[in-house]
Amino acid sequence: MELNDSVRQIKELKVQGAEMIARFALETIRNVLKQSNADSAGLLYSEMADARKKLAAARPTEPCMFNAFKYVFMDVKNESTIEMYKSFLERIELALKHFDFAQQTIAKIASQKVKNGSIIFTHCHSSTVIEILKEAKRQKKHFEVYNTETRPRFQGRKTAAELAALGIPVTHFVDAAARYAIKKCDVAFIGADAITSEGKVVNKIGSELFAEVAKKFEVPFYSCTDSWKFDVESIFGYEKNLEMRSETEVWEDAPKGVKVNNYAFEKVDPELVTGIISEMGIYRPDVFVQEVKHSYPELFER
């Protein structure tokens, strides 16, 4: 995994989803570290910092990757090259372990919400949601999934294909049919790209619309997410701009005079979210923020 190649893969959405991007970014800097010939701690640090900057810029709206980097760079010892190498490597491995632990824990907790005979709604492609459904299947529960295609990049097809390959019955809907799909569902699970300090869930465009529909039909609506997706900067008023992607993803050759809007994400009002399911448990969005504060007090310090 060469650095520039990884950056390109993230930019081109060959690697997508907050958690996959964070893992991939960590694996890439581990490679940069292992291949480094730097003969001084200073040089090694600047090589790693350069890789961090390039990877972060490839998808500048992903707190999960930023928090993972922050963790990796936090206590790096500056005594000697070998000390620094060891600190980086240890931190990268611990961060990757955190992701494994969090995803398994979330799967165990959220799968309790999957009952025999139920229909689950999901949107886009979330590795966290896939793990939950896999775990429910492992528990021999009988359920099916309704999912939406997620224009314009069709990440929903990836979800449907993965579920079908796992032997989970799945029915695929165009995005505009979500109301029809949701009213037949028992529970909705979406992922998250970020959670703000006000408890807003940032996720794929369509998420808030579907949350409103779920509320209307009294379908519990959960965001399933690693707590490392908490957006630290939002505490200080710097909420990230929502990613605006290229017009041509929506309409390759739109006639002159037609403006195309291609917001890739939106913020879901916490009032519409039944709960956030993270490795810390299931909490209402405002309580989730308090739990993050309790677990990572240093994030809330200026």
Which residues of the shown chain bind ligand RUB in the complex (CB under 6 A)? 16-20, 124-128, 155, 191-193, 203-204, 264
Choosing from 39, 64, 100, 193, the catalytic residue is 193
As measured in angstroms, the least distance from the Cβ of 186 to ligand RUB is 20
Q: What sections of the chain are H helices per DSSP?
A: 3-11, 18-35, 41-58, 63-73, 81-110, 127-138, 155-165, 178-182, 207-216, 285-295
At residue 257, φ and ψ (nearest 5 deg) are 95, -10
Tell me how far, at minimum, the Cβ of 77 lies from ligand RUB, in Å. Answer: 31
Q: For residues 25 and 11, what is the distance between their CA atoms, to the nearest angstrom?
A: 12
> Taking a C-beta distance cutoff of 8 angstroms, is the pair 120, 85 a contact?
no
Residue facing ligand RUB at closest CB distance:
191
**Residue nearer to ligand RUB on the CB measure, 54 or 153:** 153
Residue 131 CB, shortest distance to ligand RUB, in Å, is 8
Three-state SS for 27-50 is HHHHHHHHHCCCCCHHHHHHHHHH
Of the listed 124, 185, 224, 226, which one is catalytic? 124
Sheet order of strands, 143-148 included: 170-173, 143-148, 118-123, 187-190, 221-224, 275-278, 281-283
* Closest distance of CB 185 from ligand RUB, Å: 17
Nearest to 96, CA basis, from 172, 9, 20, 168: 20
Q: Is 226 a catalytic residue?
A: no
175 assigned to active site: no
Active site residues: 124, 193
